[in-house]
Amino acid sequence: MRKPFSLFPILVLTAFPVCAEFTIPYPENSNRKEIPVLGSSPEVKTKPQSVFKEKEKKGEIRLSSRNTPMESEKEVPKEKLKKFFTRPANKGTYGDRPKFYRGLYVNNSLVSDKSRKNEWESLLKDASDYGVNVLVIDLQPKTPSPEEISRIKEMGFYPVGRLVNFDGGLKTKYPSPERLNSIFGYIRKACLSGFPEVQLDYIRYADVTDIDLSLKEKYNNINEIVNRIRGEANQCEKLPYLSADIFGRIPFNKDDQIGQKVENFAQLVDVIYPMLYPSHFYGQPGRIANPYQTVYDGLKNTRKRSLSTTKVVGWIQGFGMSLGPSGKSLKDYIKAQIEASVDSDSDGFVVWNIVGKYGDTFRAIEESIESGKLKIED
């Protein structure tokens, strides 16, 4: 049963893909419940920015890979996890989601810029021909129209609306009311356009800030904002599924200064998307060189630390950054990640390429299908 709820700028974006605060006075929300924090350390404070920068210069830390992998099931026994969101009664719902997500990221301009219409239509055709069933489309700055989303659905795609909450991560203790209102506005727009799922990106604190907050405070703040988004989504005529992107390192560590934790998100959203781009495991050459194992381990860890009803879908790398150590072509690099998504018993994958060039991805999908590894069942 379902649950409620900028060529240089381009190169820069390609190299740093995405992948997606809170004690201002809030209006009371009858749908909201307090979210317990799992395994947080209230006495631990986030290091000031100056300290982190100094250590980074000395090579003492790597911001994207400094935490030690943990045996997550020993930290928080799975049976202790519960659902802590509410669903209003007698609300319309969307139909079943794909059993296994075979997805692509779609930049907003590709859909909204009329001068790119031919490019958009070509991508839709190719995606359909190669068995893609999910399109993750930016809601910002211009949310696609209801007519376009309806057309996409009729073509057999499951559209997911990607919503950037705090670009680069929250850099202040709390967000401004204006920012929160903007987020809620895009939730409403997504519902009106007919998106069956809204994906929260950058739903976290910035990796390095001067904010003096304990982990518990960060967790509580992130939980609270997701809860408020859930409350907004609950007002939709049809309830969208709610999902969230998490850093690729989060499945491998117990606690993290950005305020993301698998166990917490498992209680708050319907789908968790770990951003497992192997190239972004800085300081861990083995992870970069072995795309299969990186994606496999990340998805397995996320699954172990989630609820049985939580879908786990990996963001995987569809761009050519740091391929050298693997000895693989881009096509084979993508293929390895796809096969890891299948072997890990995850609920699918979404390929990230900021400029929407998916030729290697389509070839990787085709070979995975031909080998019998990837099934086309929906």
241 within domain boundaries: yes
pLDDT tens column, 149-181 = 999 999 999 999 999 999 999 999 889 999 999
How many percent of the chain have pLDDT more than 90? 71
CA distance readout (Å), 166 to 26, 163, 172, 222, 238 = 18, 9, 10, 11, 26
Tell me the mean pLDDT in the region 42-71.
36
Tell me the mean pLDDT in the region 46-55.
39
Whether 295 and 340 have beta carbons less than 8 Å apart is answered as: yes
pLDDT tens column, 126-143 = 999 999 999 999 999 999
Tell me the mean pLDDT in the region 19-45.
33
Span of 15-29, 99-113, 336-350 with lowest mean pLDDT: 15-29
38-51 CB burial, b ≥16 within 10 A, e <16: bebeeeeebbeeee
The mean pLDDT value of the chain amounts to 82
Q: How confident is the model at residue 10 (pLDDT cuts 50, 70, 90)?
A: very low
Number of H helices, E strands in the chain: 13, 11
298 within domain boundaries: yes
pLDDT tens column, 91-109 = 666 767 899 999 999 999 9
Tell me the mean pLDDT in the region 231-253.
96
pLDDT tens column, 262-277 = 999 999 999 999 999 9
Q: How confident is the model at residue 13 (pLDDT cuts 50, 70, 90)?
A: very low
160 within domain boundaries: yes
377 within domain boundaries: no
Tell me the mean pLDDT in the region 325-344.
98
CA distance readout (Å), 138 to 91, 127, 180, 338, 361 = 26, 17, 18, 23, 20
24 within domain boundaries: no
Confidence at residue 377, expressed as pLDDT on a 0 to 100 scale: 75
88 within domain boundaries: no
352 within domain boundaries: yes
Span of 59-63, 218-222, 317-321, 330-334 with lowest mean pLDDT: 59-63
Q: Which residue has the higher pLDDT, 36 or 322?
A: 322
Range of the domain at 345: 101-371
Number of domains in the chain: 1
Q: Which residues pair with 135 in a beta bridge?
A: 104, 159
Q: How confident is the model at residue 254 (pLDDT cuts 50, 70, 90)?
A: very high
Please spell the DSSP secondary structure of 302-369, one letter per residue. Answer: HHHTS-TT-EE-EEEE-S-TT-GGGT--HHHHHHHHHHHHHHTT-SEEEEE-TT---HHHHHHHHHHH
Q: How confident is the model at residue 378 (pLDDT cuts 50, 70, 90)?
A: low
55 within domain boundaries: no
Report how far residue 35's alpha carbon sits from residue 219's, in angstroms, rounded to the nearest whole number.
9
Report how far residue 164's alpha carbon sits from residue 307's, in angstroms, rounded to the nearest whole number.
25
Q: Is the confidence at residue 120, as pLDDT, over 90? A: yes
Confidence at residue 210, expressed as pLDDT on a 0 to 100 scale: 82
Structure tokens at 225: 């904002």
Q: How confident is the model at residue 8 (pLDDT cuts 50, 70, 90)?
A: very low
Q: Is the confidence at residue 78, as pLDDT, over 80? A: no
Confidence at residue 15, expressed as pLDDT on a 0 to 100 scale: 43
Confidence at residue 93, expressed as pLDDT on a 0 to 100 scale: 63
What CATH number is given to the structural domain containing 123?
Answer: 3.20.20.80
